[in-house]
Amino acid sequence: MSVAIKANRLTPYMFLAPAGIILIFALLYPIGYMIYASFLDWSPSQRIGQAEFIGFRNYVNLWGDEAFRESFWVTIRFAAIVVTLEMVLGVGLALLLDRNIKGMAMLRTVFILPMMIAPIVVGLMWRYMYHPTVGIFNRTLKNFGFEGIPWLSDSTWSFIAIVIADVWQWTPFIFILALAAMQSLPRSALEAAEIDGANEWQKIVMIKLPLMMPVLIVTLLLRLIDAFKVLEVILVLTNGGPGLSTEILALRIFRTAQEFQELGEAAAMSNLLLMMLMALTIGMFAYSRVQEARLARQRAAVEKDAD
Amino acid sequence: MADLKLTKIVKSYGDVEVLHGIDLEIESGEFVVFVGPSGCGKSTLLRTIAGLERITAGTMEIDGRVVNNIPPSERGIAMVFQTYALYPHMTVYDNMAFGMRLAKKSKQEIEDRVRNAADILQLGPYLDRLPKALSGGQRQRVAIGRAICRDPKVFLFDEPLSNLDAALRVATRIEIAKLNETMPDTTMIYVTHDQVEAMTLADRIVVLRGGYVEQVGAPMDLYHKPANLFVAQFIGSPAMNILDGSVASASSGKIAVDVESGGKATVPIAGAGAKAGDAVKLGVRPEDLRIAGKGETPIVNGTIDIVEALGEVTLLYVQVEGHEEAVLAKLPGYHQVERGTAISLTADAEQLHLFDSDGQSMARKAEAKEAA
């Protein structure tokens, strides 16, 4: 009898087990491995068992590493700038294109094309366009009698160049999500606002944007997480240069492991990046939790009134 | 405070015309209900008055001013939507204050008007709640409150009770009726598909079908003198029974009709051109039918199919030969009758309605002729 009950209780877990096992091997094992590796002085010529355990020295080294701090700063600047630009442009476009005009479906499809192109290809495309002599930008500038811009050879311009490429590729992501959010807004509330005398701008600022806020915040966080991990486009465009001006963290990690052969230190960097992203994700969940909790409290209050 | 004049209002969506030249005048302070089956254009008509839909042709006047090209906010209207249409991210107070803030009213005035509306609708305790934390009935009251705050000349209701459950619907209906009494100068236009709401609330009812006005009149006029078969069957619940028949003889002042089930009826209306042999339809309301006594000529002969005893009334569904739908009789009190027994029903001659083969009321035609 009690055995049967026990078996019953275990049944759901048995069904969950295969997924759980895959999760452990595919997700937790690599992360655990990485965390362990970050405490080692480990070069690719050694097996992991031969590497020397050095505790937190990798992290301490990172703290004092000028190049890492620079790269960390570049990453934060890059993420903040591109995500801000993409949010403004994406939401703006969605507000503009949220109407039923002939050909709009086609236009929307064209808008999201950049997102579908492989990042490596995007990087190559933009490298050709930024080319100092044969690239389309400088040729056009020269045709109009201006000086060419040192797109990829000047440290300020190369940062601008990667920002432009990223904004070009990822604005559509914000655009589609914002458009979807906008189209699910309650029509009648907007009509009520019209009767209340709100003009188009007031409708956007006072009704549409606040109502879209939950979706926009999630979109922002998703984009932010992605922007912190960007690699391929920048690898192809500038390879982090000139100097360290465009060396974002992912690239720094890649080079630390690949060129400097410091696997332990690369792992430590990855861990820092992971912790940062984790903080963002937890922030995202916390936000929605707080929202839900507030609603639940108010609902409970209503039910209490009803009693 | 405001009268409305609609002249030849046409509304088309692309090639599809949904309102076909509506003419209507509504007096200041009147409570007018647009009623009709779904797709009849009643909501569209209301939305054209609100200005949420532009009219394709015709003129719309509010208070003597043509408003064809005037935006909703400047028409002096307020609207209550079926789905409440509250601003979900604003508190009850802010929902009601929104329009006034846009209009740059003073803080004190906003406060006064919101408190006043909240008092009328007993929303005081909920002013700093979000709409999500309110029940359906409370939300609709907030929507009504928001409309009151606009101090409109014309109050528009678009099926405001449809999303509420039955008990709340009755309560809110009474509240709207009271509101109408407290704002005697405000014109109210109310759209519904529910004829009970129409009958109980309206000073005048506008019955719409397929984008045309079928009849306009006071509730009791529509009930007693429907202009045509559609109105006859739409107004009143359960619906009027319609029986096929033919004119046996027509003289000045009355028409004798042979009814399909072998019954006979004499309807006291002027002939109006009817002649023997004309196909007609005889209408009789379930509540006007009674069991034929000895010596009375029955109008309907049939067998009882279903008996529904509700206590205060008994509903009899009578199967009549050659007639597809059962004829329904609503008899007061409790009647012990068996299924399958034969029954003969009759009604007072004054309660009968007669329609010609086009479905137009013959009594109305006769009246028109007399007037001419």
In tens, the pLDDT along B9-20 reads 999 998 899 999
Given an 8 Å threshold on Cβ–Cβ distance, is B86 in contact with A299?
no
**Range B273-302 average pLDDT:** 86
Percent of chain B with pLDDT over 70: 96
Is B366 in the A-facing interface, judged by CB distances under 8 Å? Answer: no
Report the mean per-residue pLDDT for chain A: 85
Cβ contacts of B79 on chain A, cutoff 8 Å = 191-192, 195
Residue A71 confidence (pLDDT) above 50? yes
Which is more confidently placed, A103 or A34? A34
pLDDT (0 to 100) of residue A53 = 79
Tell me how far apart the alpha carbons of residues B188 and B5 are, in angstroms, rounded to a whole number: 14
Assigned token pair, A174: 């914000």
Least confident range from A202-206, A265-269, B303-307: namely: A265-269
Given an 8 Å threshold on Cβ–Cβ distance, is A195 in contact with B73?
yes
What is the biggest distance separating any 2 CA atoms in chain A, rounded to whole angstroms? Answer: 91
A-chain residue closest to B150, CA distance: A196
- Phi, psi of B252, deg, nearest 5: -65, 125
CA B89 to chain A, closest CA, distance in angstroms equals: 7
The band of B367, judged by pLDDT with boundaries at 50, 70 and 90, is low
Nearest to B83 among A186, A194, A206 (CB): A186
Residue A215 confidence (pLDDT) above 60? yes
This model's pTM is above 0.90: no
Cβ contacts of A302 on chain B, cutoff 8 Å = 129, 133-135
CA B87 to chain A, closest CA, distance in angstroms equals: 6
pLDDT (0 to 100) of residue B162 = 86
Note the pLDDT tens digit of each residue in A7-20: 788 888 889 999 99
Percent of chain A with pLDDT over 90: 15
Tell me how far apart the alpha carbons of residues A108 and A114 are, in angstroms, rounded to a whole number: 12
Residue A306 confidence (pLDDT) above 70? no
Which is more confidently placed, A105 or A81? A81
Nearest to A194 among B52, B133, B146 (CB): B52
Given an 8 Å threshold on Cβ–Cβ distance, is B85 in contact with A206?
no
CA A199 to chain B, closest CA, distance in angstroms equals: 9
The residues near A208 (Cβ < 8 Å, ≥ 6 apart) are: A95, A182, A185, A190
Interface of B with A in 265-294 (CB under 8 A): none
**Range B200-229 average pLDDT:** 92
Helix (H, G, I), strand (E, B) or coil at A40: strand
pLDDT (0 to 100) of residue B364 = 64
Tell me how far apart the alpha carbons of residues B62 and B26 are, in angstroms, rounded to a whole number: 9
Is B8 in the A-facing interface, judged by CB distances under 8 Å? Answer: no
Residue B2 confidence (pLDDT) above 50? yes
B-chain residue closest to A294, CA distance: B133
Residue A39 confidence (pLDDT) above 90? no
**Range B288-294 average pLDDT:** 88
Nearest residue to B155 via CA among B128, B172, B177, B134:
B177
- What are residue B250's DSSP bridge partners? B255
Residue A307 confidence (pLDDT) above 50? no
Nearest to B133 among A191, A210, A301 (CB): A301
Cβ neighbours, 10 Å, residue A210? 15
